[in-house]
Structure 1
Amino acid sequence: MKRIITAHVNNSSGVLNRITGLFARRQYNIDSITVGITENPRVSRMTFVVVADSMDNVEQVIKQLHKQVDVLKVKDVTDESIIARELALIKIIVSPQQRGEVAALVNTFRATTIDIGRDSMTLQVTGDTQKVEALIDLLRPYGIKELARTGVTAFNRSTKQAQEPNSRLTLIN
C-alpha cells in the first residue's frame, strides 16, 4: 500500500541524507520524494510517497523520524483530505502534421506545450498522479523521447467555515 508522509525539517545540510538513510535502513523504497523550503526559510517540507507492507511499518518509520534532531513535525496524510500534485515534463516525437492532434490532447488535460522542435514537442502537465499517468499513457504511441517527473507534493486542504443562522461557526470538511 502506498502512503504519503509529510515532514517539516530544519533547512540545513545533511538532513535529507539522514532521513533517506532512515528509510533505507528500514528497507523502504521511496516511490517519490519532494523537498522545498516553506513560508519560513529555515524550514523545509518533505513529501514522501512510500510503499509499505502494513500500517505498523509506517507507524514505526514515523516514530523513527520523530527521533531525528532536525525533524520538527511528521504526519501520514494518506487518509486525510489533502491537495496532492505532481509535475511532469514529457518530450515526445511528433511530425508537424501530428502537432494539431497532440495539441487537442494536451488541451483536454490542461497541459501546456512549452517547446516545439522540428520533430518533437515538450509538454508540461500538473495534477494528481492519475492525471499525469493518463496523459503519459496516451502519449506513448507517439514515442516518448524524455520524461521527467517531480513526484508528489501534498498538504492538508483548508477547513471551510460556514455561518449558521444562530451566528455559531460550524466546521465543514
Structure 2
Amino acid sequence: MKIEHRHAERHVLNVTVDNEPGILAKITGLFTARGYNIDSLTVADISEDHHISRITVVTNGPPQVIDQIMAQLDRLVPVHKVVDLTEEGPHVERELALIKVRGRGDDRVEALRLADVFRARPVDTTTESFIFELTGPPDKIDSFVALMREIGLVEVGRTGIVGMMRGSQPA
C-alpha cells in the first residue's frame, strides 16, 4: 500500500474583523493553542469609520490543516470573512523592508549597483552605510538581503506581507 505524504504549503489568509481590542490576541491565540505557526502577520484599518480591520496571516500546512484554521477563524465572533488568497486565485503580495548595509570603497559601489537593479531606494546615507527601502514580493526581498550579506549587511526590518485578489472584486 502506497502512503501519500502531503507537504506543508504556504497560504496567505485575509481575515476581515471588527476593529476592537483583543481581536489580534484571539487570532494569534488560536494559532498558538493548536501549534500552528505564523510566518507573517500584518494588521490594517480598512474602513473609513475605523470599525473594520484586515489581518493578513501567512502560514504553512497541508490542505486539511489550512481548512481547519480557516474554519476556526470563521467561528470567532468578531470575524466577518476569511479568504485564502492562495486558493482563490491570482493575487498580489507585497512587503516593505528596510535594509542597513555597511560599505566603503568597492563594497559601497556594489551596494548601490545592486540597489539599482532591485529598485531599492536609499533612504539614509552616511559615509559608512546605507539604509535601503525595498518593496516587492517576499522572494525579491530575500534575494536582495542575501546579496547584501556578502557586502556587509548590518540589520533588516520587514513589515510582513499584505495581499489582495487581482481584479475589481473584493476578496
Q: TM-score range by the shorter chain?
A: 0.7 to 0.9
Q: For residues 63-101 of structure 1, give each alpha carbon's deviation from its aligned partner in whole angstroms, at most 9, with x where no partner exists.
A: 111111110100111131101000111101111553332
Query: Is structure 2 residue 23 aligned with structure 1 residue 15?
Result: yes
Tell me the TM-score normalised to structure 1 length: 0.87
| Selected match of 1:65 from 73, 87, 110 | 73
The sequence identity of aligned pairs, in percent, is: 35
- Deviating runs (4+, > 3 A) in structure 1? none
Tell me the TM-score normalised to structure 2 length: 0.88
How many pairs were matched up? 159
Q: Could you tell me which residue of structure 1 aligns to residue 6 of structure 2? A: none
Q: For residues 148-172 of structure 1, give each alpha carbon's deviation from its aligned partner in whole angstroms, at most 9, with x where no partner exists.
A: 1111110101149xxxxxxxxxxxx
Q: Which runs of 5+ in 2 are unaligned?
A: 1-8
| Selected match of 1:47 from 51, 56, 64 | 56
Query: Is structure 2 residue 170 aligned with structure 1 residue 151?
Result: no
Q: Could you tell me which residue of structure 2 aligns to residue 134 of structure 1? A: 143
Task: Look up the SS of the partner of 1:78 in the other structure.
Answer: helix
Given that 1:115 and 1:123 are in contact with CA atoms closer than 8 Å, whether structure 2 keeps it comes out as: yes
CA shift for structure 1 position 142: 1.5
Q: Max radius of gyration: which structure? A: 1
CA shift for structure 1 position 114: 0.5
CA distance in structure 2 between the aligned counterparts of 1:30 and 1:141, rounded to whole angstroms: 29
Aligned positions of 1:76-115 closer than 5 A: 76-79=84-87, 80-115=89-124
Given that 2:107 and 2:151 are in contact with CA atoms closer than 8 Å, whether structure 1 keeps it comes out as: no
CA distance in structure 2 between the aligned counterparts of 1:96 and 1:112, rounded to whole angstroms: 19
Given that 1:94 and 1:119 are in contact with CA atoms closer than 8 Å, whether structure 2 keeps it comes out as: yes
Q: Which runs of 5+ in 1 are unaligned?
A: 161-173
